[in-house]
């Protein structure tokens, strides 16, 4: 047996669902709201708006819909943050920050999926895009760290070779020292 999830809201026209979403997520009152309004819309306001439009929706259904829409909005915002962090990858913003953002989006995605049994194709697409961004963040951050480590090893190797050459150490012995102490592995 599957539980019913938001069916009364999903049965509403898409334009009405969009208006409800703007009310819930952005706190924007529709121009044709049937009464004077003040502050942020409440679930009862959304139910009243549905009635005004000729549709019925319970406050509990609107509440479940609201949780889902706010979570999607947070996921979209996190995706924006990820893309912003990725556009100027520097040593200061490398691995740890990016992985933290990536893990945050992954956790929100899991939370979203856990609260929802039936996803629309648009929601699946948004979740897939967020997961793609998370994966790309981790891959790029790890790649950046590996590149930085390789550059440090190359610099240390050249510095060691130069110093040992100046000291008159045999080239073969220099290579053995570098391999042993710097962990340089021949491929």
Written as one string, the DSSP assignment of the chain is -----SHHHHTS-HHHHHHHHIIIII-PPPTT-SS---SS--HHHHHHHHHHTT----HHHHHHHHHHHHHHHHHHHHHHHHHHHHHT--GGGTHHHHHHHHHHHHHHHHHHHHT-SS--HHHHHHHHHHHHHHHHHHHHHHHHHHHHHHHHHHHHHHHHHHHHHHTT--HHHHHHHHHHHH-----
Q: What is the mean pLDDT of the chain?
A: 77
Please give the model's pTM, rounded to 2 decimal places.
0.48
Domain map (residue ranges) of the chain: 7-182
Kindly give, in sequence order, each residue whose CB lies less than 8 Å from that of residue 121, ignoring residues fewer than 6 positions away.
Answer: none
pLDDT of residue 187: 43
pLDDT (mean) for 78-84: 70
154 band by pLDDT with thresholds 50, 70 and 90? confident
pLDDT tens, residue by residue, 175-187: 887 777 766 555 4
Q: What Cα–Cα distance (Å) separates residue 182 from each residue in 144, 153, 165, 167, 187?
A: 20, 7, 17, 19, 15
The rounded percent of the chain whose pLDDT value lies above 70 is: 74
What's the pLDDT score for residue 30?
92
The count of other CB atoms within 10 Å of the CB of residue 137 is: 24
pLDDT band at 6 (very low <50, low <70, confident <90, very high): very low
User: What's the pLDDT at 49?
Assistant: 93
Which of the two residues, 54 and 100, has the higher pLDDT score? 54
168: pLDDT strictly greater than 60: yes
Ranges 7-11, 19-23, 83-87, most confident: 19-23
Percent of the chain scoring above 90 in pLDDT: 11
Instruction: Report pLDDT for 55.
Output: 92
């Amino acid at each position: 047996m599957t539980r019913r999830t938001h069916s009364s809201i999903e049965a509403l026209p898409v334009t009405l669902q969009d208006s409800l979403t703007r009310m819930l997520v952005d706190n924007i009152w529709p121009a044709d709201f049937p009464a004077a309004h003040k502050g942020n819309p409440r679930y009862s306001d959304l139910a009243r708006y549905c009635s005004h439009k000729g549709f019925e929706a319970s406050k509990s259904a609107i509440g479940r819909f609201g949780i889902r829409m706010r979570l999607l909005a947070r996921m979209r915002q996190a995706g924006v943050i990820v893309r912003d962090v990725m556009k100027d990858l520097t040593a200061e913003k490398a691995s740890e920050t990016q992985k933290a953002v990536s893990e945050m989006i992954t956790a929100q995605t899991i939370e979203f999926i856990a609260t929802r049994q039936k996803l629309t194709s648009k929601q699946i697409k948004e979740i897939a895009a967020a997961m793609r961004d998370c994966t790309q963040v981790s891959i790029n951050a790890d790649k950046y760290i590996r590149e930085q480590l390789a550059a440090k090893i190359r610099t240390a190797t050249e510095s060691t070779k130069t110093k040992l050459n100046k000291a008159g150490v045999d080239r073969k012995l220099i290579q053995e020292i570098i391999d042993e102490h710097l962990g340089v592995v021949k491929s």
